[in-house]
Amino acid sequence: MFDLSMMVAQSARQFPQKTALISGQQQWTYAELDAAITTVANRLRAQGLAPGQAVGLQLKNTPSFVITYYGVLRAGLVVVPFNPLAVEREVEHILAVAECRAAVVGEATAATIRAAAAGIEDFLLVVDSDPATESPPLEKGELNFAELLAPGPDTAEAPEPGRRADDDAVIIFTSGTTGRPKGAALSHFNLWMSCTTLNTRSNPTSDEIVLGCLPLFHVFGMSGILNIAMAWGVTLVLMRKPEAEGILDLVETHEVTRFSAVPTMLSDIVSAGAGGRDLSTVRRVTSGGSALRLELISQFEEIFPNAALLEGYGASETTSSICVNQSRQQRKIGSVGTPSWGTRMRITDKDGTVLPAGEDHIGELQVTGPTIFNGYVGDCEATEASFAGDWFRTGDLARIDEDGYVFIVGRLKELIIRAGYNVYPSEVEQTLQGHSGISQAVVVGLHDDRVGQEIAAVVVPHPGTTVTEDEIKDYARAQLSAYKCPRIVKVAGQLPHSTTGKVLRREVLNSFFS
């Protein structure tokens, strides 16, 4: 029998008095954290929940999230984390697909969950109080999270989880940027191997202080931050709301050594500036979610003088990062690095033919290895369509160079075909972002009767900077082949983003080109 929470128990045996979590003024040692996890596991089982049943988890980055996450796993249950900003319709979909029998949520979202779960018989709702509230208002049959944490004579020993390594541990819902979210099932083995493979690349030391500023309900925060920190037995500083000034303050206060972020977050940090803070303790920062601009890398490393900003790649279905640049010396700018241990990658054309390495060979990136998910819950058709044999079809367009470094070019579904020519939005976006006045750019294809698809761009200027549509078109013509240049340009104050910093292209189309 195996469950992922065993790695917390192992860290508790090795470092019982070491600080595991810091959240505001709260601190938890590994011994305290492990005991709380066992208590919650027993309390959940006492409520009649059986191994294999799913429990929704809708909390911000708090100790309650961490304790519940591992407590659910230790009870042999399946964690279903989702965004605290999710609305009733979205929550109803998640609860139904994952067949959740319970949920642990924050006080602010309890009403939404009640409504979404109204049709589920004997549904257990556990409500965690907001910091300013000692006891949240509850309805009949509901529990206060504090009740789950209350130790007793029957909560000291961990229950038998009754789970195997290849059983589902987490159902994590895709972002839904191209369709309705699907539930990707990750096994205990997937999650454990993600920690193991990242460990071989990250070279952690026992004195690491990790900042958790990405949302833990997302695979990047959950697998790439939370699980990693607990497996290493190091200190994790939790951040409820990731704001640039707050990140910089926490880095200085707690002498943070590493963290992960998305490019929009990194851009905000650069805009905020060091402000006289000592940020010298940071050694490594990992970026993912979208491409990094060369200018942003250099600006960021000026603020963090001892840090290497390293780009990586992963997805919900791959249990977070499966490809990363190892160090400043070994990285290739523009690349997401080389595959992690045990992961193999290949590029195929539209007919499934494997393409050789080289700059001219762009195709769909396919991957196989120990962190590839079990499939989409309740959707055999989507699962089958996402695999070519044992190879997961990422839907990303990429190339691999002769040294094995992977370069993401764009999404297969986002490829623009203009008058028979392939145009990769990411190339045009990177070019436009090279303009001194542009902070962000997104490029989309619009239907055109003559050329098939026309290229359109929306750009966001740097604060205090003014750019015109004609200026951007002229700049593009000087930098790109004519068929790649956007014929339609719009200037905007901001772009719509997901909670993890990805540009929501469907919303761009609806908002700017409906």
Average pLDDT, the chain: 92
User: Is 285 part of any domain?
Assistant: yes
Assess whether 41 and 182 both reside in one domain.
Answer: yes
Q: What is the mean pLDDT of residues 479-485?
A: 90
Residue at 217 is within a domain: no
Handedness of CA 425, 427, 433, 439 (dihedral sign): positive
Q: Tell whether 226 is covered by a domain.
A: no
CB-facing half-sphere around the CA of 96: CA atoms within 13 A: 12
Is the pLDDT score of 81 beyond 90?
yes
**Would 313 be classed as within a structural domain?**
yes
Q: For residues 57 and 59, give the distance between their C-alpha atoms in angstroms, rounded to a whole number.
A: 6
Cβ neighbours of residue 304 under 8 Å, at least 6 residues apart? 279, 280, 282, 285
Interatomic CA distance for residues 485 and 457, integer angstroms: 9
Cα–Cα distances in angstroms (integers) from residue 466 to residues 66, 264, 272, 460, 463, in the given order? 44, 20, 20, 10, 8
- Reported as a single tens digit per residue, the pLDDT across 6-32 is 999 999 999 999 999 999 999 999 999
The whole-number pLDDT of residue 244 equals 95
Q: Among the three residues 187, 210, 228, which one is the final residue of a domain in this structure?
A: 187
The verdict on 49 and 183 lying in the same domain is yes
For residues 402 and 278, membership in a common domain is answered with: yes
3-state secondary structure of 507: helix
For residue 32, is it within any domain?
Answer: yes
pLDDT tens, position by position, 272-292:
999 999 999 999 999 988 788
pLDDT at 69: 99
Last residue of a domain, one of 412, 439, 464: 412
Which residue pairs from 138-145 have beta carbons closer than 8 angstroms and sit at least 24 positions apart in sequence? 139/114, 143/47, 145/64, 145/68, 145/104
Rounded distance between C-alpha atoms, residue 311 and residue 285, angstroms: 9
Determine which helix (DSSP H) or strand (DSSP E) holds 326, and give its type and residue range: none
pLDDT over 90 percentage in the chain: 75
CATH number of the structural domain spanning residue 183: 3.40.50.980
Q: Give the span between the Cα atoms of 343 and 363, in whole angstroms.
A: 18
Q: Which two tokens mark 466? A: 């003014």
Same domain, 474 and 361: no
- pLDDT category of residue 133 using cuts at 50, 70 and 90: low
Q: Around Cβ 120, how many Cβ atoms within 10 Å?
A: 16
Amino acid at position 502, single letter: K
Question: Residues near 202 by Cβ (< 8 Å), separated by ≥ 6?
Answer: 228, 258, 284
- Could you write out the DSSP letters of every residue in 38-76? HHHHHHHHHTT--TT-EEEEE--SSHHHHHHHHHHHHTT
Going by pLDDT thresholds of 50, 70 and 90, the confidence category of residue 136 is confident
Query: What is the C-alpha separation between 348 and 368, in angstroms, rounded?
Result: 14
203 — pLDDT class (breaks 50, 70, 90): confident
| Domain containing residue 327: CATH number | 3.40.50.12780
Other Cβ atoms closer than 10 A to 348:
16
**Is there a single domain that holds both residue 360 and residue 431?**
no
Same domain? For 446 and 398 the reply is no
pLDDT of residue 179: 58
Domains: count for the chain: 3
Longest dimension (CA), the chain: 75
Model confidence at 502: pLDDT above 60: yes
Q: What is the pLDDT of residue 132?
A: 61
Q: What share of the chain is helix, strand, coil (3-state, %, to 5)?
A: 30, 25, 40
**What range does the domain containing 341 cover?**
243-412
In the numeric block, which tokens belong to residue 397?
């367009």
421 & 372 share domain:
no
Do residue 397 and residue 425 come from a single domain? no
Last residue of a domain, one of 388, 412, 436: 412
Instruction: Quote the pLDDT of residue 180.
Output: 75
In a domain, 207, yes or no: no
What does the pLDDT look like over 152-182, one tens digit per residue?
877 888 888 889 999 999 999 986 544 578 9
Q: Are 175 and 288 members of one domain?
A: no
Do 384 and 490 reside in the same domain of the chain?
A: no
Check whether residue 398 and residue 501 sit in a common domain: no
Q: Is residue 371 part of a domain?
A: yes
**201 within domain boundaries:** no
pLDDT value of position 175: 64
pTM, two decimals, is 0.88
CATH number, domain containing residue 431: 3.30.300.30
CA distance 240 to 218: 14
| 423 in the same domain as 402 | no
- How many C-beta atoms surround the C-beta of residue 139 within 10 A? 10
The confidence score (pLDDT) of residue 294 equals 85
**pLDDT over threshold 80, residue 121:** yes
